[in-house]
Chains A and B, each alone.
Chain A
Amino acid sequence: MSFASQPQPNRIAGKGRLTPANQTRFEFDGKILGALEGDTVASALIANDIHLVGRSFKYHRPRGIVTAGPEEPNALLGIKRNVARHTPNIRATTQEVFDGLQATSQNRWPSLKFDIGEINDVASPFLSAGFYYKTFMWPRKAWDKLYEPFIRSAAGLGNAPEHEDPDHYSSQFAHCDVLIIGGGVAGLSAALAAAQSGANIIICDEQAYFGGAFHFDVDPKIDGTNGFEWAQQAAAKLAAMDNVRVLNRTTAFGYYAQNFVGLVERVTEHVSAPAADMPRERLWQVRAGKVIIATGAIERQMVFANNDRPGILLAGAARTYLNHYGVAVGRTIGVYTANDSAYAAAIDLKNAGVEVPAIVDVREAPDSQLVAQAEALGIRVLSGQAVTAAGGKQRVSSMSVAKIGGGSEQVIPVDAMIMSAGWTPSVHMFSQSRGKVKFDAANNRFLPGTYVQDCVSVGACNGTDDLTAIVDEALNAGEAAAKATKPKPRRNSVKIKVEGGAAWDGNMIGAAPGAEAGKVVKAFVDYQNDVTAKDIRLAVQEGFHSIEHVKRFTTNGMATDQGKLSNMHGLAIAAETLGKEIPEVGLTTFRAPYTPVTFGTIVNHSRGALFDPTRTTPMHESEVALGAVFEDVGNWKRAWYYPRAGEDMHAAVNRECKTVRDLVGMFDGSTLGKIEVVGPDAAKFLHLIYTNPFMKLGVGKLRYGIMCREDGFIYDDGVVGRIAEDKFHVTTTTGGAPRVLNHMEDYLQTEFPDLDVWLTSTSEQWAVIAVQGPKAREIVEPFVEGIDLSNEALPHMSMATGKICGVPTRLMRMSFTGEAGYEINVPADHGRMVWDALYERVEAAGGCAYGTETMHVLRAEKGFIIVGQDTDGTVTPYDAGVGWAVGKKKEDFVGIRGLKRPDLVASGRRQLVGLKSKDGKMVLEEGAQIVAERDATVPPKMIGWVSSSYWSENLGAPIALALIEGGSDRIGETLFVPMPDTTIEVEICKPVFVDEEGGRVHG
């Protein structure tokens, strides 16, 4: 795109590393602004002299950009690419500008400059720490209508995107010998040393460019060149090596067990028009032999009155904007510091032509050489003095300075301020690795102490500040890591020459003079959560003495920046108020993620159709063609019912139910779990696993089996067929297949390892077609070869092997409907062919296909239980009315002892019964509770619940199964089912509604 370059008033000619010719533009709150390629949104806004970028969370105070990196607490913007691509709460300091980017300020209404919510700032005496906990307590009734809606609308920053995420994300597992987190001088040095050995290395850095502190620190030289340039060369050299993977724009966000580290690579977030096949972000799940943590340090703010006014930045950040982006943060800049590093920033700014009226240093005697350097440039150094307040509202306009301990105040007009209270080592990754930090009292900082995982910290995050010492430490660590993971490393020959880069001295934690206890000022500790020094003191005074409690009560450090700036200040103020030493108060634990990670990256491919696999049966397409409506059963799609023209579900199910009992129906039972149990001891094994006896089951016979857990409760059921002396075909419930196999394997491997038995899951090998109804034999007979279907040769509960439609079959004469019928097992590949052939004949005979709903109704008419519907894990075979399936003469089976427990043999247990609605119409609700008296006092005693309930078209009446206390002894009694609008009267009956004698199955 070509367009006239727009003036950017704070851009300093000749400064920075961006190319003036590479103009681009973006939008901020609807206004089009110029920028340079390589700018962040923050640097571009400052270049346009915009500092006011948002409103604070609680008080809605005007807020500006504070930092130049991922620690930014204030400058959170909505970033939009197009209507579907809007992400809230993006740090302006890390988002690179691309042509067409639209940024929007947040937490303000109606506009950034005029925000109604600002009333909270005036009302702040009523919004102290723990405000929500104290205010929204009573009356209880006010919660739903008043408090909750208020809190919900006030809570949270930014607006969630309204459209489905159109982007795709990528996920990659990686293994390496050495993972290096951080690409500053320490990380690069360690990588160079480790890479020489031939070890496999991954080095990542969250920024676009490697070099870390060299973004701002232009003084030191490495191998004779300036640090930033050296870093680019080092990264390029590493990238060219086969054994090194170099990842920029990649944040290590989580450090998990066994050196498992999560990285997120922002692949196209900085690109104007990303290629459609590129992922937005890539998740790296890295398993590293060794991890070298080289995450540097983060500068802290000074805690003084109104330290949150837009235009007040960290000194290092101002230096980054100048030296990397070529942008001055103001034209007249005041400096407030407790640390040497701010002097370098002041000197760079002054040399770039910016007015620096004064450096205010809380220290009595700062380094005389630095003072002399500053003064030589005409910068006044006010040592032993403090900034008591910043002036201005939507932009800092002055700083009030006074001697510490009293004295007259002078007001110095400024249009920006920079500050430094010293540097906090980034121990986030170390702490996440479960390492224990130790306190370095001399420098007021926590450093890595006791390591738990195989990792090492180098450089500023390890408290090493002098550049020469950093490089030495990093080279040693890189070499040692490579040696540890690569037994025979190549000779290490990396030497790095360092000039300059002496450590900066001085620091301060806690409130600065002027914001100490007793002063009613807003000196912010945590910008993002609006926590002031006063709030932390108040929390301690109110009895919160553990730092974990102080954190939760004040919300200090709980925002998305995770207290990167605020933790040390908050801790120091709490310790001071408690009168304790800092190590006694302790540091809160760092947790993943280090910076926010998008849901898209975490969810990655697991959405839509890929969220969970879908399982379909071999006959699925034929069922689709028949117009089946499907239901989800676990991962399975099962045909639920087959509506014909004009039919709703009710009508279709009624027709299917009648057709099966009158003529014939076909059902897809392929989802049933199937396990082949083979071996000389197969019968003995099943004898132990099932409650039923199995030793004497004849070859070619079927048996309905109940399986219990050791506690005596029903675990699963199914039909078992004996194919040969040493071979059984076991079926399980659809949902129970994996756990039944696991249960069997468990006993076989660990309790009965002497049994010679093999278990194989064959669920997906067999397609199962049930043909049920009076005409079942007539339908099946013409297709069968080698099997005599007569009642004499193949009676109910027997099976035979042979052929159907020319393919092998295990043909089982069995019934889950109460009608005569078959379950035809054929190899899965032939399932559809056999289904289609049978269906043609079923249809010609006036039959139909029926789905799971009809199957449920028909089996309920017969009182056959469904494990998991009519049982709930506390139901014994006796409770379920299948006590006959427990072998009375057996010496052992799984559950034999549990079934004898006193509470399992006690009277009054809930037992399976049938229920009839007395009005003959009302279908009960499954799960409904049952009571004995119609008008019992509330709450009435509930004596059971409805487990299955349907309309039975065959009976012209509703039917239900229920578990009721002492149910078997209450046949004929009247009970009640209270519903919200009525009470239904029901009569207990035996749980069999159709063909109680069971003659039909033998037809």
Chain B
Amino acid sequence: MLLIHCPYCDEERPELEFAHAGEAHLVRPANMADMTDEEFASYFFYRENTKGVAFERWRHVHGCGRFFNAARDTVSDKFLKTYKVGEPKPKIAAAAPKKTQAAS
């Protein structure tokens, strides 16, 4: 079970308390009613589905109830950073696996 850091509670809590809520940094257009079909399709249907660092929304649904954003590596399943709604997308490169040798 993953531990996820809630940026509002500022605590690491078990995965069971959270719900995934899709891709992050998608802004609902103010001119909703006037969008072309293509614009609406790209807003509503198309997603990045990244292999590597994905930016996604999570909700601390069984905790504070807040939605927040997370950068997660979809290959290693590691959360690289979580941050509050409204904060800019952090610059994160996919982390290479830690090369630690056994103790000697």
- On A, residues with C-beta under 8 Å from B are 256-258, 260, 285, 287, 434, 436, 448, 450-452, 456-458, 462, 473, 476-477, 480, 710-711, 742, 745-746, 749-751, 753, 891-892, 896-898, 900-902
Whether B76 contacts A742 by the Cβ 8 Å rule is no
Query: In the complex, what's the smallest C-beta–C-beta distance from B80 to chain A, in angstroms?
Result: 13
Query: B21, B37, B78: which contacts A901 (Cβ < 8 A)?
Result: B37
Whether B3 contacts A753 by the Cβ 8 Å rule is no
Whether B33 contacts A896 by the Cβ 8 Å rule is yes
Q: Which residues of B contact A750 (CB under 8 A)?
A: 57, 67, 85
Whether B1 contacts A898 by the Cβ 8 Å rule is no
Query: A476, A753, A896: which contacts B103 (Cβ < 8 A)?
Result: A476
Which A-chain residue is minimally distant from B103 (CB atoms)? A477
- How many Å lie between the Cα of A900 and that of B65 in the bound state? 33
Whether B44 contacts A452 by the Cβ 8 Å rule is no
Q: Identify 13 new A-B residue pairs, CB closer than 8 A, beyond the known A257-B1, A751-B28.
A: A257-B78, A451-B98, A451-B102, A452-B98, A462-B102, A480-B103, A742-B59, A745-B67, A749-B66, A896-B32, A897-B40, A898-B40, A902-B37
Whether A257 contacts B37 by the Cβ 8 Å rule is no
- How many Å lie between the Cα of A896 and that of B19 in the bound state? 27
The interface residues of chain B, by DSSP majority, are classed as loop
Whether B85 contacts A749 by the Cβ 8 Å rule is yes
Q: Which residues of A contact B37 (CB under 8 A)?
A: 901-902
- How many Å lie between the Cα of A409 and that of B103 in the bound state? 49
Query: In the complex, what's the smallest C-beta–C-beta distance from B31 to chain A, in angstroms?
Result: 9
- How many Å lie between the Cα of A102 and that of B21 in the bound state? 53
- On B, residues with C-beta under 8 Å from A are 1-3, 19, 21, 27-28, 32-33, 35, 37, 40, 44, 57, 59, 61, 65-67, 76-78, 85-86, 97-104
Which B-chain residue is minimally distant from A480 (CB atoms)? B103
- How many Å lie between the Cα of A891 and that of B35 in the bound state? 13
The interface residues of chain A, by DSSP majority, are classed as mixed
Whether B2 contacts A456 by the Cβ 8 Å rule is no
Whether A257 contacts B2 by the Cβ 8 Å rule is yes
Query: In the complex, what's the smallest C-beta–C-beta distance from B20 to chain A, in angstroms?
Result: 12
Q: Which 8 A-B pairs have the closest CB atoms?
A: A477-B103, A451-B100, A751-B28, A749-B67, A897-B32, A456-B103, A462-B102, A452-B97
- How many Å lie between the Cα of A750 and that of B44 in the bound state? 15
Whether B77 contacts A892 by the Cβ 8 Å rule is no
Whether A257 contacts B57 by the Cβ 8 Å rule is no
Query: A458, A751, A753: which contacts B102 (Cβ < 8 A)?
Result: A458
Q: Which residues of B contact A711 (CB under 8 A)?
A: 44
Query: In the complex, what's the smallest C-beta–C-beta distance from B52 to chain A, in angstroms?
Result: 16
Which A-chain residue is minimally distant from B77 (CB atoms)? A257
- How many Å lie between the Cα of A450 and that of B101 in the bound state? 7
- How many Å lie between the Cα of A745 and that of B66 in the bound state? 8
Q: Which residues of B contact A450 (CB under 8 A)?
A: 97, 99
Whether B76 contacts A452 by the Cβ 8 Å rule is yes
- How many Å lie between the Cα of A902 and that of B40 in the bound state? 12
Whether B103 contacts A458 by the Cβ 8 Å rule is yes
Q: Which residues of B contact A436 (CB under 8 A)?
A: 97
- How many Å lie between the Cα of A898 and that of B65 in the bound state? 28
Q: Which residues of B contact A287 (CB under 8 A)?
A: 3
Query: In the complex, what's the smallest C-beta–C-beta distance from B99 to chain A, in angstroms?
Result: 6
- How many Å lie between the Cα of A753 and that of B1 in the bound state? 32
- How many Å lie between the Cα of A742 and that of B44 in the bound state? 18
- How many Å lie between the Cα of A458 and that of B77 in the bound state? 26
Whether B3 contacts A258 by the Cβ 8 Å rule is yes
Query: B32, B67, B86, B100: which contacts A892 (Cβ < 8 A)?
Result: B32
Q: Which residues of A contact B103 (CB under 8 A)?
A: 456, 458, 473, 476-477, 480
- How many Å lie between the Cα of A258 and that of B40 in the bound state? 39
Q: Which residues of B contact A480 (CB under 8 A)?
A: 103
- How many Å lie between the Cα of A120 and that of B77 in the bound state? 46
- How many Å lie between the Cα of A599 and that of B61 in the bound state? 29
- How many Å lie between the Cα of A448 and that of B103 in the bound state? 11
- How many Å lie between the Cα of A342 and that of B98 in the bound state? 39
Looking at B27, B32, B35, B102, the one whose CB has the most chain A CB atoms below 10 A away is B102
Could you name 9 residue pairs across A and B whose Cβ atoms are closer than 8 Å?
Answer: A258-B1, A434-B76, A448-B102, A452-B98, A458-B103, A473-B102, A473-B104, A476-B104, A480-B103
Query: In the complex, what's the smallest C-beta–C-beta distance from A921 to chain B, in angstroms?
Result: 47
Query: In the complex, what's the smallest C-beta–C-beta distance from B2 to chain A, in angstroms?
Result: 5
Once A892-B32, A897-B32 are accepted as A-B contacts, the answer to whether A753 and B2 lie under 8 Å apart by CB is: no
- How many Å lie between the Cα of A451 and that of B102 in the bound state? 8
- How many Å lie between the Cα of A150 and that of B76 in the bound state? 42
Whether A891 contacts B44 by the Cβ 8 Å rule is no
Query: A258, A434, A448, A710: which contacts B44 (Cβ < 8 A)?
Result: A710
Whether B67 contacts A457 by the Cβ 8 Å rule is no
Once A258-B3, A452-B76, A480-B103 are accepted as A-B contacts, the answer to whether A746 and B40 lie under 8 Å apart by CB is: no
